[in-house]
Amino acid sequence: LAYLCEGFHDLMPRSVLRAEGTRSGERDLAAVDLELLIGGLPTLDLDEWQQHCVDEVVEANPQLSAWFWEVLRRYGPVDQAKVLSFACGSGRVPVSGFAGMSPPFRISLLGFQTPDNLPTAHTCFNQLCLPPYDTQEQLHKKLSTAIHAGGG
């Protein structure tokens, strides 16, 4: 086991795992960060993601649904993977793509919450739950806070 750990640390130095040398206030690596470092950055097809998504928000609040997909497209590949990981527990999709996700990725509206709340998720159900945000920038800020808030 010691040789396995030594080999792992040859590839992933302790300083990287502890995020040594980072600016004050930054946190250590979260599980999703480690997953992305080891497994590489996934290529996420946002058109396929949207096509195979069960979007429960679009009927009740079509503007919020449109904002979500616009925000996702504004994100870079790392943050897109973090949204997927936040909602599904992994930043990667099955070999068969989003069509092979079981259960499918789902977006739900939390109409009983206020726009001050962060999004929540049910990873066992691949479900992202959004409060009824008033603006696209509010959605962007709250979703960014949620995906960078530590988790893992």
Q: What is the pLDDT of residue 152?
A: 44
Cα 149 to chain centroid distance, Å, stands at 11
**Side chain identity at 148, as an amino acid letter?**
H
57-77 average pLDDT score? 96
Q: Tens digits of per-residue pLDDT, 98-109?
A: 999 999 999 999
> Would you state the structure tokens that stand for residue 3, as one six-digit string?
């040789």
What mean pLDDT, rounded, does the chain reach? 86
Query: Cα–Cα distance between 15 and 138 in angstroms, integer?
Result: 35
DSSP for 9-46 reads HHHS-HHHHTTTTPPTTPPPPPHHHHHHHHH------H
Residue 68: what pLDDT? 98
5 catalytic? Reply is no
- Selecting among 53, 88, 124, 129, the annotated active-site residue is 124
5-24 confidence digits (pLDDT tens): 788 777 667 776 665 555 54
Confidence of residue 82 (pLDDT cuts 50, 70, 90): very high
Task: Answer for the pair 132, 115: CB distance below 8 angstroms, yes or no.
Answer: yes
Q: Give yes or no for residue 93 having a pLDDT over 70.
A: yes
Q: Is the pLDDT of residue 123 over 50?
A: yes
First to last CA, the chain: 24
Query: What does 111-142 look like in DSSP terms, one character per residue?
Result: TTS-TTSPPEEEGGGTEEEE---SSHHHHHHH
